[in-house]
Amino acid sequence: MSVSLIPALSQRFSLKQFSSQKVSDEDINGMTEAARLSVSAFGLQPYRLIVIDDRDTLNALAAHTFGQTQLPSCSHLFIFANETEITDKTVDAYFDRIYSQTSAEAGSQAGYADYIKSYYAGQTPEQKVQVAQQQAFIALGSLIAEGALRGVDTCPMTGFSPAGINKALGLTERGLNACVICAAGYRLEDAVVPEKVRVPADEFTLRGLEAV
């Protein structure tokens, strides 16, 4: 039996104020797993996911979100942090996982590994960071969708100081940079669900285009 995301996504909205109810470990683990299994270019996953639920830490990080209300009230905070470099070691680590987690014989995909290395060798450091951040945003979408299915409310945020969060959590020393964050929790009992406003379907999806 197929499961559709449409009903869950139709009801979700970005919460600014959360209730005091804590999200269960089961639901948080499900959301992080959805992010881990998300689509990633070449499968490299040049980003990491940090989960914060300590109230003191959330309050400290709130200082880097320009007075917004999500962090002081949310149950958990997800921080997607891109790797600041994509190197040959990044590619080698991926193929080490292939050889250890699948039936592929060690070294059997060396040609493909070399292709990926040459692809990234032709990019500037800035382009590599952009690619890593784009991949993180794709994983964020998977996390939000899984949360919606589980009835967990979320609010993705780019309005924060990456430098501030990097310093507070020591991310720079780990070769990471906070690129997008997402508060999670539950809506207040008296929360009003706003009507969903989106581009009409017949305007959003373009069909029948031909190359010129």
Query: What is the pTM assigned to this prediction?
Result: 0.95
* Tens of pLDDT, residues 13-52: 999 999 999 999 999 999 999 999 999 999 999 999 999 9
Q: Which CATH class is domain 14-187?
A: alpha beta
Confidence of residue 86 (pLDDT cuts 50, 70, 90): very high
Sheet holding 176-185, edge to edge: 47-52, 76-83, 176-185, 153-157
pLDDT of residue 3 exceeding 90, the answer is: no
SS3 4: coil
Q: What distance, in Å, lies between the first and last C-alpha atoms of the chain?
A: 41
The domain segmentation of the chain, as residue ranges, is 14-187
Structure-token pair, residue 124: 């500037």
